[in-house]
Structure 1
Amino acid sequence: MRLGITFYDDTPEVLRFDKDDIRSIVLGGVVAHVKMLETYVGTDPENNENLMRVFGEALDEMPIWKAYSVIYDYANDGVFPPDCSVLDDYLRMAISFRMELVYANEFHGIDIGSPKPNTSPRYRGMIGTGKALETLLCGFMARWKLDVPGNGSDDADDVRFWGHMFERIDCDLLSLSEIAILADIQERSVRNYTHSTRAEHERLKTVKVGGRTYVKPEDAKAWLTRRRRFMPTRFPEAAVQ
């Protein structure tokens, strides 16, 4: 199974979910795993409120939340991972967790995240089903390609390897949907900036590979730095080299 994210023209403009939304999905996903296990082994179902309380109190120390917290901080807030040696384990865990939530929601009918009352209808769906995690993972991998040079191969590092496993993406070039996540605008808006009629200082330069449109990291970075909602990456001193 491959996961992927598609942004529709009628999607609300802002693409980022806040950390509370992601936390509610991870907590709901942990509870969903327990509910599925009860179904598989035939144990008496536990009270949902009690499960949410117990796991909610312990969530900060759970490896799955530590993984998604690092992923969120880098993808949305531009905080470069403080310890890159754990990314292989974190991404393996985060992607497998997201895939399992597909089964929990679609086959078992379990609601995952708990949207806030004022959340728009489409965002409610992405939080309730857990699909918002895919946007987050795509943003993490897109930012990595922006910040960390590759070698044209998906085995250049752990992030590129898992990016290939998560969705068959180009190892080094960025798609327009990845640019959209980083800029926090719709893909159709990004596409408008690629038109040759745009002024040189506004235009997003692209390249064609196999009939698909991509952006080189250096061109993406030059264009993104002029976008109001783009969050530049903050590197710890030890990571700059």
Structure 2
Amino acid sequence: MKLGITFRDDTPEILRFDKDDIRSIVLGGVVAHVKMIETYVGTDPKDTENRMQVLGEQLDEMPIWKAYSVIYDYANNGIFPPDRSALDDYLRMAISFRMELVYANEFHCIDIGSPKPNPSTRYRVMISTGSALEILLCGFMARWKLDVAGNGSDDADDVRFWGHMFERIDCDLLSLSEIALLADIQERSVRNYTHSTRAEHERLKTVKVGGRTYVRPEDAKSWLTRRRRFIPTRFPEAVVHQEGITEAH
């Protein structure tokens, strides 16, 4: 099973969720995991509301929340992970957790996150099923490709190693979906900026690989820095000068 996001030009997508949304999904996912274990071993189900409260008080210290907190801060707020050595464990947990939620929701019919009042059906579905985590994970991968130079292979670093879980072809070039996530605009809008009729200073330069359209990191960086909703990455001073890491200006 692979993870991935699909944008449809005729369907507005929600590209960013706030941290409370992600926290709700992670907490609901932990509770769902406990429910599934009870089903497997045949123990009596406990009071869900009380369990939610107890686990909610413990969530900040759980590794799974620490993992998703780092992922969120980097993907959506541009805060470079403070400890790169932990990324392998964090991504392993985060991706396996997301996959487990698919089974909890689809096979066990467990609602995962608790959506805030919102008229958007799409928003409610993505929170209650936990699928918002996929957009967050893809946003993390996209920003990593923007910030950290690879060597053209999936095993260039821990992030690219886990990138093979996502439905994509290239481990270094960015897809238009990934550009949309970083710019926080719809993919159809990104596609409009790739047209040759665009003025040179507005156009997003692309390359073709296997019939699909991609963007080189340097071209993505140049274009994104002119987008109002793009949040540049903030690097700790200690890593700014490391090889393969560059700041977008």
- Contact (CA 8 Å) 2:88, 2:159: kept in 1 or not? yes
Q: Which letter maps to 2:134? A: E
Counterpart of 2:16 in structure 1 is 16
Matches within 5 A, 1:1-241: 1-12=1-12, 14-118=14-118, 120-241=120-241
Q: Deviations over 1:194-238 (max 9, x none)?
A: 000111111000000011100000000000001110000000001
Go from structure 1 to structure 2 and tell me whether the alpha carbon gap of 1:125 and 1:13 turns closer, same or farther (over 3 Å shift). Answer: closer
Distance 1:20 1:10, change over 3 A: farther
CA contact (8 A) 1:163 1:169 kept: no
Shift of 1:83: 0.4
Answer with 55-64 or 3-12: which moved more. Answer: 3-12
State the AA in 1 paired with 2:82: P
Root-mean-square deviation (Å) = 1.1
How big is the shift at 1:239?
1.3
Q: Distance in 2 between matches of 1:228 and 1:14?
A: 17
Give, in whole Å, the separation in 1 of the partners of 2:29 and 2:13: 26
Conserved? CA contact 1:194–1:206, under 8 Å = yes
Q: TM-score under structure 2 normalisation?
A: 0.94
- Residue 167 of structure 1 deviates from its aligned partner by 3.2
Contact 2:174–2:217 (CA under 8 A) maintained in structure 1: yes
Aligned partner of residue 208 in structure 1, secondary structure? strand
**How many Å apart are 1:123 and its aligned residue?**
1.0
Give the conservation status (yes or no) of the 8 Å contact 2:7–2:13. no
Distance 1:104 1:14 in 2: 23
Moved more, 38-47 or 112-121: 112-121
Count of aligned positions: 241
- Say which SS state the counterpart of residue 165 (structure 1) adopts: coil
Identical positions, percent:
88
TM superposition shift of 1:14: 4.9
Letter in 1 for 2:59: L
- Higher mean C-alpha displacement, 158-167 vs 42-51: 158-167
Question: Does structure 1 retain, via aligned residues, the 8 Å contact 2:114–2:127?
Answer: yes
| Distance in 2 between residues matched to 1:26 and 1:198, nearest whole Å | 42
Stretches of structure 1 lacking an aligned partner (at least 5 in a row): none
